[in-house]
Amino acid sequence: MAEKIKFAILGADGRMGQAIIKAATSIDGVSINTALTHSQSPHLGKDALALAGVMSGAGQSIVNLTDDLSQAGQSDVVIDFSAPQATLDLVDAIKGSAVKAVISGTTGFNAAQQKSLDGAISDLVFLQSGNFSMGVNMLEALVELATSKLRQGWDIEVLEMHHKRKVDAPSGTALMLGEAAAAGRDVKLGDVQVLSREGQTGARQEGDIGFATLRGGGVIGDHSVIIASELEKITLSHSAFDRSVFADGAVNAALWAVKQSPGHYNMKDVLGL
């Protein structure tokens, strides 16, 4: 019998972490080896599987939540949905360990943090994405294609809505779509993005990529990219109905990643886009 692929999950007591536990434990050949959370979590020491509504047994033992990142080093792959500094601390803690791959859905890295991360992952398969949904990644490809063809006289706006508990804005997915739009125009997003508008802003500048953020209720994730001219408008959009779509994508990305050579990957690589 083949040995199971051992997963560690950082942010295991969060909504995404619990969805990933459910998705991973439903797959033969996978086991949850380590469940990680932050030091102030009220769930420290509790069974992560029970918190996620999964019964231990059938080859899956109880996995108590810990804040000791070094314990992730006993796993084959780490799935990370946490915060930028926690991701950096994780990469540092697993240096020289048995971990083959890290799958990170953490967003909100500033330029210095991203540079530090890029310099620390040379020996890992590091798969980073703002969204693990197949539909969103297909939307990203369509946005890049559309913006590459519709240039002069076409304005780009990215609109997103999430639940009221989301703490970062714009979302990682919105920024991912903005990056795709910028790539279609052969520009850097940082040079053309407009993240907010208030007061007397003046007329919209040609080439800007604007962002609008909505928060409320329990919305899992709605994203639209609007490409508008003086005479017509195209809207490319995606709505997620259940958080499991992201969890399933992250688990499938992990199963793909453990077979790859060290390098920096994203969901386009997984899907062959």
Q: Is residue 107 a known part of a binding site?
A: yes
Backbone angles phi, psi at 227, to 5 degrees: -120, 110
Q: Is residue 13 a known part of a binding site?
A: yes
Site of tokens 């077979």: 259
Q: Is residue 131 a known part of a binding site?
A: yes
Q: Is residue 16 a known part of a binding site?
A: yes
Backbone angles phi, psi at 221, to 5 degrees: 175, 115
Q: Is residue 263 a known part of a binding site?
A: no
Backbone angles phi, psi at 167, to 5 degrees: -105, -15
Q: Is residue 229 a known part of a binding site?
A: no
What is the biggest distance separating any 2 CA atoms in the chain, rounded to whole angstroms? 67
Site of tokens 């997003």: 189
Q: How many CA atoms lie within 13 A of 243 on its CB side?
A: 16
Q: Where are the alpha helices (DSSP H) in 121-243?
A: 134-149, 172-184, 189-192
The rounded distance, in Å, linking the Cα atoms of 108 and 23 is 25
8, 77 Cβ separation under 8 angstroms:
yes
Annotated active-site residue 162? The verdict is: yes
Q: Which of 162, 233, 238, 268 is catalytic?
A: 162
Q: Is residue 217 a known part of a binding site?
A: no
Q: Is residue 110 a known part of a binding site?
A: no
Q: How far is CA 247 from CA 24, 92, 104, 200, 250, in A?
A: 8, 25, 12, 42, 5
Q: Letter for the amino acid at 140?
A: E
Say which residues have a Cβ less than 8 Å from residue 113's Cβ, sequence separation at least 6.
Answer: 84, 85, 88
Annotated active-site residue 188? The verdict is: no
Q: Is residue 173 a known part of a binding site?
A: yes
Q: Which of 4, 166, 264, 268 is catalytic?
A: 166
Q: Which residues are annotated as a binding site?
A: 11-16, 105-107, 129-132, 163, 172-173
Q: Which residues are annotated as a binding site for NAD(+)?
A: 11-16, 105-107, 129-132
Q: Active-site positions?
A: 162, 166
Q: Which residues are annotated as a binding site for (S)-2,3,4,5-tetrahydrodipicolinate?
A: 163, 172-173
